[in-house]
Structure 1
Amino acid sequence: MGNKYVVVDLETTGNAPKKGDKMIQFAAVVIENGKITEEYSSLVNPEQSIPPFIEELTGLSDEMVEDAPLFSEIAPKVLSLLEGAYFVAHNVLFDLSFLQEEIIDAGYNGFYGPVLDTVEMARILFPAADSYKLSDLALREGLKHDRPHQADSDAYVTAELLLILLNKLKNLPHNTLEQLHKLSGGLKSDLDILLDEFILVNESKIEYLADEIEVHRGIALKKGKNPHEAAGSGFHGFPFREEEKQEMFIKAFPSYEKRQGQFIMMDSVYGAFKNAQHALIEAGTGVGKSLAYLVPSAVYAKESGRTVIISTYTTQLQEQLLTKDVPLLQKMLPFPLKAVLLKGRSHYISLAKFVQTLRDEEDNYDTILSKMQILVWLLETDTGDIDELNLSSGGMIYWSRIKNDETAFLQDKSWISRDFYLRARKDAQKADIIITNHSLLLTDLTADNAILPEFSHVVIDEGHHFVKASGKHFGNKLDYLSVRLMLGQIGLFEQKQLYYKLEKLVEEKAEAPDEFMHSFEVNQIIADIIHEMDELFRVIAIYAKKYTKTKKSVNRITVRFNKSAKNKEMNAVLATAERFGFMLKELIQAVESRMGIVENIKSALSLEEKALMEEVASILDDLRDMNEDLKHIFHLPSPEFVVWIELDMRSAQNATTIYAQPVSVSEYLNEQFFSKKESAVITSATLSVKNSFSFIVKELGLEEQHCTMKQIPSPFDYRNQVKLVVSDDLPEVNAVTLEEYVVSIAEHIISIAEAAKGRMLILFTSHEMLRRTYELIKESGFLEDYAVIAQGVTSGSRSRLTRNFQRFDKAILLGTSSFWEGVDIPGEDLSCLVIVRLPFSPPDEPMAQAKNEQLANEGKNPFSEYALPEAVIRFKQGVGRLIRTSSDRGVIVIFDRRIITARYGKAFLDSIPPIPVQKSNIEEIVELIYTWL
């Protein structure tokens, strides 16, 4: 660390110096011998006005820079700072290229020393960070970052971050440093020079590896440790008396207040397991349902010696159960408990394949970066699970080469003892509780090699999603990007990808029989398939655009694909799908015959050649799966299936997916799942409609007489914690055009936001309405000092948008579908919830349409049997976002008058906790919010 580093940050009028954008602030922080030794910053007169957007972002105005020096006046100082130093910045190419232009314009030679990028370094050294934005990294590392987007503050934080990164880099094991060094030539910055120095320093001293690190076959990695297992005394049976439950909870929470609902739920779960019954348990917000099913599951597992499975829909809940709830559970119980998390095989890295790819010559930036991230991650991970890693989309393509799958050729036994997937399965065999997800639970029913050990007792949390997960599982899908990626990995002979390598191997090593298809014939098939695939997705897009009911301005469209309709677009799709399928079969046969020849000489293959055959075997499996999907979607769709297309109008070719799913999964679930298990407990905060479980029972294929059913209300005092208002001065949703409706709700939202000081979540049912409302609010300029965050407009995942929302004092979050549930914003951060429309599925949504047809054919009422109950469950989820703890207070504003004017509105209000409802105009709503909050 004896080097000199100069950390630079600039604020500018825009991001294109070539088009005349100029600097408005320069800041530099100098680091020498591992310490900050100097800070310098200056405003700069750009000799042009600062755009409003930049002023809003940086807080720098024309008045502030009008007396500032020109850049040419501070250039000598800047150059003296940079002398003999590494140039460092967060996203270095931007700052360096901008500065170069300004230095050269001022008549000096540019800077040509070594550069470092803290974004690139952070990606490599913090491979599991959620985000690499400077403010997010500062938060993660506990650095104070008072004024983001002001150069002096940004430069100082970047300098502190650099010191942390250098320290971490310097202390990596010698093997890891050497492997990083081999890859670092392909980076954007000069990390290779730095690594060179660190390796030299490292070589001169004896290396003491940390206790938890080992080096195996030249790779440094964290030693495997036992899963969540806590010590405790022996097990003496458990009668579940009230005072025993109380004592257990006090052990884990010294200030525990008894929650009656939680105890009732514990008894219900335990009773269902003991009596070998299925149970549906609706537990309102605040019941504490995770521990209420974990305690009896643990007790039953210990008593019976059987493993209990806990299945969730989201990975978020899985992580929460493992890292937060299981440790509490272990504190409470008087016996040791072993709990593990188990995911599908392809979630885990194959170390044998990874090590093999380290030998490849790489020139792809994303692949190089991913390899470096993984080398560092192996020093930290206990699981080898990709969900921990933050890879770029290019990195995900690389992951598909190193993920764990059925190995046939690469019998590199040296890694078996360290294999994360085998370790996870072995731990699962001995576990009392296994946490997994709905998708793996369902896959395991039909898999040849089951991943989960035998089980007969299961808790299905987030149970209202089990039907949706089952539809995906029993269905098929084909999407353009995956198909293109797969064919790209095979490649034409001249592209020197897998097919070329396979052909070369066969040529060198094996004797091809006479009837063998010639390489140029196979090459022609690959060329035809690529052409035919483009053609197939082109005609699918033509069909979708012609038969969509959606307006032209909407980006994402969903269209049902109805095979009974005879029209020329449909015929074109079916004919192309048939040609594509025919060629696909030919390609599969050609690859299989080549694999067969190589299989005979397996013992004579080198490690590299076996690794190649692994990749080919894996692609062959993917091709067979694709052939099955193609068959089920186009050639054999059963009348019980609904087929539909989803595409993005902005890049129809790249973003097209076609799905086929059963209209109803109830029979599948009954036959393949519930009839085979002794006891399944289905739980969620939203299972009932108007206090009846009959809708969900039918959807799941259960029979009411064979289930126990329990509703456990929320312990929160909704009457005194929540006000529910229906706006009575907005037009009826369907009585006006979308434009008029958006104008009127945007005005309401602005007034409500000012009264509530932000802190509001607005739930929409359509992306289009959300986008237009967002644009109107932004254009109006009334909420300039609010952070307005909109799903699908502001970039980032749901959890990132939620985190950003919580970071700002005055924030407004606009969300659709996925924001109606699973978003947890306790306390003052969220005080106002606006529901724009009752969440009915659009009538032309393919699955809803097919369900309605099916019910109508059975002589039932599609609205009351399906559309209404489905909307009520989603509405309950939405309402559940507001009150997350017993001290939360808030206001719910509903813009959709149908909740009080329509006959069915009562079904919504009867399904949520009892809250008095009032009708008010906007002035009264604003007044209420002021006084109540």
Structure 2
Amino acid sequence: MASSLSPSSTSAIVADVPAEPAAAHAYIPASALGGRVEQIFRPDGPLAASVGHYRLRPQQREMALRIADAVAENRVFVAEAGTGTGKTFAYLVPALLSGGKVIVSTGTKTLQDQLFTKDIPLVRGVLNAPVKVALLKGRANYVCHYHLQRSLLEGRFLTRDDATYIQRIARFAAITGTGDKAECPDVPEAAPVWGMATSTRENCLGQECPNHKDCFVLAARRQAQEADVVVVNHHLFFADVMLKDEGSAELLPACNTVIFDEAHQLPETASLFFGESVSTAQAVDLARDTRAEALTDARDCLDLPPACAVLEKAAKDLRLAVPLDPARYSLAQLARFPQFESALDGFEAAIDHLAAVLETQAGRSEGLKNCWERSLELAALIHKWRSGVPGEADETAFSEAPAPDAKQDGPSDKATPVEHIRWAEAYTHALQLNATPLSIARIFRRQMGGHPRAWIFTSATLAVQQNFTHYCAEMGLWEVETACWESPFRYDEQAILYSPSGMPDPNNPAYPDAVMNKAWPVLKAARGGAFFLCTSLRAMRRIHELLKARIEDEGLDIPLLIQGEGSKNELLDRFRLLGNAVLVGSQSFWEGVDVRGEALSLVVIDKLPFAPPDDPVLSARIEHLNKAGRNAFIDYQLPRAVINVKQGAGRLIRSETDRGVLMICDPRMVDKPYGRRVWRSLPPMRRTRDEQVVVDFFTDGRD
């Protein structure tokens, strides 16, 4: 199986060879901060004395020491820590002891809340550290007094639930100290009515807002400015800090350390925010807000309502110019839709017309002025997308990162425009036009420049066989320190990796049926308690259909859940409560899910999660790499798939007492030469192709 992942420090660009083993106790901290951290993690130290059920892990201790030195010396450090290492404590202890301002960025708002309400208070108490901590989220998470009051006055709600929820939000706004909608249990976080009670960057009135002094967003940002530790999520970090959007752009200059947890998500998130996009939904929102402002301050302007109606129709026509099913389209594909170009012309003309009308009314109120400015911004974005001209922020950015074997110490100083990939994504009711950088490497590297500070990147899944080449090249991290720590779990005793024999080609139309046939005996032996992680929504729906029929035919008492029946958190709560359920999911459940104990003892992965090669962004990057003489599959597609497999596999064993089977059905993991890189990157489980071995594993475990 996989070789033991010993701690190792390497250049960002290294050969794909196993690291030399090193004893965990051999590392000696160089900094004074490291010495303090070492005391905290001693067997008789404060953590062991204060935290119930705390177990000293050599991997955690050494990781904390390496992070402490990186913080003390303002270095870049990339660390992979296997599940159960305790990486959260490993970075929080040196962060809270460092004495500088720290930004901790996590993958999701759920992880933000866990850090802020549980992990940081615990560590702060253990250290007796007088650090001030702030939680900062995007503005859509905070009640906006202005938009809430406007919605209450208008009283235009699509459903009875919305009308009820808006009253509950109003009561919440009157008593809350933060305005954070996560603290309003009476209204679901996913309720559409929240959009009527919060602001966006586009419709915020800023200092001209009549409720400016009471603004919850500004209050949260003031607290962040004053705090020693600020907890954000990756989306907010890139939107507000890196791109210097209004609000928290002052955080980064004052910061001494940036820590990215779940750092494997950064390439995708950065690509999103280093690009530009414009959506028909933005136009519909603009029309709605303009109509509302006109009712209050420009009733006598008879041109505004029809201009809004024209824009709404143009937005709808543009969405209908592409097929109805949600999908992604390249620029070449869009050009082949006969109605697309004319619909885009109409959309652009409708925005220009509304902007012209709004210009005549902008002086009548701040709300109308804001709508006019938004219309101009939308018009500019549409024009830039159509012409392929990069935004101002991109004109001095850097171009594609060098190949991993490039003979240079770092990026060139020469600034050249970034090449963008233009494409579109169709949602159920909207079409979004995107311009995505071909590479984010040099853009991100440039953003890291300036004031000296430490940058820490950590996750359970960053490397391919201990090799960080792919990740570091994507992020523009040249000549940085890297290290891997294996999980303390006993995978050889706790888990089996099962690759069933006799599977058809993954492109066979009957492949989901074959997955079901091979997984059914294992599922019955496990008596439920399973995740089916699918690489497509079509496969997810088919496997769910087959499972439902089998369970009903055999009269088994196994509850069946599927992604989409409720929110992710609701489904997970039901899954844990039921104890023997089967959950069929797609991308949402491959990561960020923690189910411990017998409730989850089987994880089935239908295919190796290669991104669809016809995805417009991936296709352009593949073409670019191949033109540069590189092997796009080996250098780019395979490493991404390996990291995703590691994420899915990480759902199985979450504690020292968990037992389970990871079933990867894709025959390419065994039949193809590159398959070795997949399973060698996974934790050192026992491996088998024998179904009976797996069945016995479950039945023996119940004896």
Aligned mates of 2:631, 2:162 — CA distance in 1: 55
Aligned mates of 1:579, 1:241 — CA distance in 2: 62
Alignment of 1:713-724 (within 5 A): 713-724=486-497
Query: How far did 1:904 drift?
Result: 0.4
Contact in 1 for aligned 2:602/2:662 (Cα 8 Å): yes
Alpha-carbon spacing, 1:343–1:534, altered in 2? closer, same or farther (3 Å):
same
Equivalent residue number for residue 762 of structure 1: 532
Deviations 1:396-438 (A, max 9, x none): 342246999343444457xx2x442232222222211000011
The question of 1:799 aligning with 2:569 is answered: yes
Alignment of 1:38-187 (within 5 A): none
Query: How far did 1:702 drift?
Result: 1.4
Equivalent residue number for residue 20 of structure 2: none
| Aligned-pair Cα RMSD in Å | 2.7
Query: How far did 1:832 drift?
Result: 1.2
The question of 1:748 aligning with 2:518 is answered: yes
Query: How far did 1:363 drift?
Result: 6.9
Contact in 1 for aligned 2:534/2:607 (Cα 8 Å): yes
Equivalent residue number for residue 350 of structure 1: 144
The question of 1:647 aligning with 2:423 is answered: no
AA aligned to 1:634 is R
Deviations 1:165-210 (A, max 9, x none): xxxxxxxxxxxxxxxxxxxxxxxxxxxxxxxxxxxxxxxxxxxxxx
The question of 1:629 aligning with 2:406 is answered: no
Contact in 1 for aligned 2:140/2:199 (Cα 8 Å): no
Aligned length: 631
Alpha-carbon spacing, 1:785–1:479, altered in 2? closer, same or farther (3 Å):
farther
Name the SS of the counterpart of 1:859 in structure 2.
coil
Aligned mates of 2:176, 2:309 — CA distance in 1: 42
The question of 1:407 aligning with 2:407 is answered: no
Larger mean Cα displacement after TM superposition, 890-899 or 574-583: 574-583
Name the SS of the counterpart of 2:630 in structure 1.
coil
Query: How far did 1:359 drift?
Result: 5.2
Equivalent residue number for residue 253 of structure 1: 51
The question of 1:373 aligning with 2:168 is answered: yes
Alpha-carbon spacing, 1:911–1:445, altered in 2? closer, same or farther (3 Å):
same
Query: How far did 1:924 drift?
Result: 4.6
Aligned mates of 1:347, 1:634 — CA distance in 2: 32
AA aligned to 1:447 is K
Alpha-carbon spacing, 1:671–1:903, altered in 2? closer, same or farther (3 Å):
same
AA aligned to 2:618 is A
Contact in 1 for aligned 2:142/2:198 (Cα 8 Å): no
Equivalent residue number for residue 696 of structure 1: 471
AA aligned to 1:428 is A
Aligned mates of 1:360, 1:686 — CA distance in 2: 49
Equivalent residue number for residue 104 of structure 2: 310
Larger mean Cα displacement after TM superposition, 725-734 or 662-671: 725-734
Name the SS of the counterpart of 1:295 in structure 2.
helix
Contact in 2 for aligned 1:310/1:433 (Cα 8 Å): yes
AA aligned to 1:889 is R
Aligned mates of 2:643, 2:650 — CA distance in 1: 11
Contact in 1 for aligned 2:575/2:583 (Cα 8 Å): yes
Aligned mates of 2:286, 2:46 — CA distance in 1: 53
Instruction: Report the TM-score, using the length of structure 2 for normalisation.
Output: 0.83
Alpha-carbon spacing, 1:386–1:617, altered in 2? closer, same or farther (3 Å):
farther
Larger Rg: 1
Contact in 2 for aligned 1:562/1:643 (Cα 8 Å): no
Stretches of structure 1 that go unaligned for 5 or more consecutive residues are: 1-235, 492-496, 508-518, 546-554, 599-612
Aligned mates of 1:643, 1:930 — CA distance in 2: 54
Aligned mates of 2:367, 2:68 — CA distance in 1: 47
Deviations 1:653-679 (A, max 9, x none): x25434332221112111123565522
Query: How far did 1:883 drift?
Result: 0.7
Aligned mates of 1:820, 1:353 — CA distance in 2: 36
Aligned mates of 2:155, 2:673 — CA distance in 1: 68
Larger mean Cα displacement after TM superposition, 885-894 or 277-286: 885-894
AA aligned to 2:170 is L
Aligned mates of 1:437, 1:363 — CA distance in 2: 31
Alpha-carbon spacing, 1:838–1:307, altered in 2? closer, same or farther (3 Å):
same
The question of 1:472 aligning with 2:272 is answered: yes
Query: How far did 1:845 drift?
Result: 1.9
Name the SS of the counterpart of 2:178 in structure 1.
coil
Aligned mates of 2:684, 2:602 — CA distance in 1: 18
Aligned mates of 1:432, 1:644 — CA distance in 2: 41
Equivalent residue number for residue 886 of structure 1: 656
Aligned mates of 1:819, 1:378 — CA distance in 2: 33
Equivalent residue number for residue 359 of structure 2: 592
The question of 1:328 aligning with 2:98 is answered: no
Query: How far did 1:531 drift?
Result: 3.2
Deviations 1:615-669 (A, max 9, x none): 4344344434433432343332668222333336xxx5x2543433222111211
Alpha-carbon spacing, 1:896–1:343, altered in 2? closer, same or farther (3 Å):
same
Query: How far did 1:376 drift?
Result: 3.5
Equivalent residue number for residue 287 of structure 2: 487
Contact in 2 for aligned 1:353/1:402 (Cα 8 Å): no
Contact in 2 for aligned 1:577/1:634 (Cα 8 Å): no
Name the SS of the counterpart of 2:132 in structure 1.
strand
Aligned mates of 1:662, 1:237 — CA distance in 2: 39
The question of 1:535 aligning with 2:293 is answered: no
Deviations 1:196-245 (A, max 9, x none): xxxxxxxxxxxxxxxxxxxxxxxxxxxxxxxxxxxxxxxx9773263443
Name the SS of the counterpart of 2:133 in structure 1.
strand
Alpha-carbon spacing, 1:750–1:254, altered in 2? closer, same or farther (3 Å):
closer
Deviations 1:360-390 (A, max 9, x none): 5667645532332123324663321234443
Equivalent residue number for residue 257 of structure 2: 457
Alpha-carbon spacing, 1:419–1:813, altered in 2? closer, same or farther (3 Å):
same
Name the SS of the counterpart of 1:828 in structure 2.
helix
Alpha-carbon spacing, 1:843–1:533, altered in 2? closer, same or farther (3 Å):
same
Equivalent residue number for residue 927 of structure 1: 696
Equivalent residue number for residue 265 of structure 1: 63
Query: How far did 1:695 drift?
Result: 0.4
Name the SS of the counterpart of 2:74 in structure 1.
coil
Aligned mates of 1:744, 1:402 — CA distance in 2: 47
Contact in 1 for aligned 2:37/2:65 (Cα 8 Å): no
AA aligned to 2:563 is Q
Alpha-carbon spacing, 1:844–1:808, altered in 2? closer, same or farther (3 Å):
same
Aligned mates of 1:265, 1:249 — CA distance in 2: 15
Deviations 1:481-527 (A, max 9, x none): 44324323334xxxxx43344323xx5xxxxxxxxxxx455555444
Name the SS of the counterpart of 1:310 in structure 2.
strand
Could you tell me which of 436, 460, 463 is aligned with 2:232?
436
Equivalent residue number for residue 857 of structure 1: 627
Alpha-carbon spacing, 1:271–1:836, altered in 2? closer, same or farther (3 Å):
same
Contact in 2 for aligned 1:479/1:658 (Cα 8 Å): yes
Aligned mates of 2:305, 2:171 — CA distance in 1: 40
Contact in 2 for aligned 1:777/1:783 (Cα 8 Å): no
Name the SS of the counterpart of 1:873 in structure 2.
helix
Contact in 1 for aligned 2:142/2:217 (Cα 8 Å): yes
Equivalent residue number for residue 9 of structure 2: none
Contact in 1 for aligned 2:422/2:434 (Cα 8 Å): yes
Aligned mates of 2:576, 2:643 — CA distance in 1: 26
Name the SS of the counterpart of 1:762 in structure 2.
strand
Stretches of structure 2 that go unaligned for 5 or more consecutive residues are: 1-31, 391-417
Aligned mates of 1:406, 1:803 — CA distance in 2: 39
AA aligned to 1:582 is A
Name the SS of the counterpart of 2:179 in structure 1.
coil
Contact in 1 for aligned 2:362/2:372 (Cα 8 Å): no
The question of 1:502 aligning with 2:297 is answered: yes
AA aligned to 2:129 is F
Contact in 2 for aligned 1:839/1:871 (Cα 8 Å): yes
Aligned mates of 2:680, 2:544 — CA distance in 1: 32
Aligned mates of 1:588, 1:483 — CA distance in 2: 11
Name the SS of the counterpart of 1:559 in structure 2.
strand
Aligned mates of 2:144, 2:309 — CA distance in 1: 31
Contact in 2 for aligned 1:238/1:299 (Cα 8 Å): no
Contact in 2 for aligned 1:351/1:402 (Cα 8 Å): no
Alignment of 1:12-51 (within 5 A): none
The question of 1:582 aligning with 2:344 is answered: no
Name the SS of the counterpart of 1:786 in structure 2.
coil
The question of 1:395 aligning with 2:177 is answered: no
Instruction: Report the TM-score, using the length of structure 1 for normalisation.
Output: 0.64
Aligned mates of 2:311, 2:652 — CA distance in 1: 52
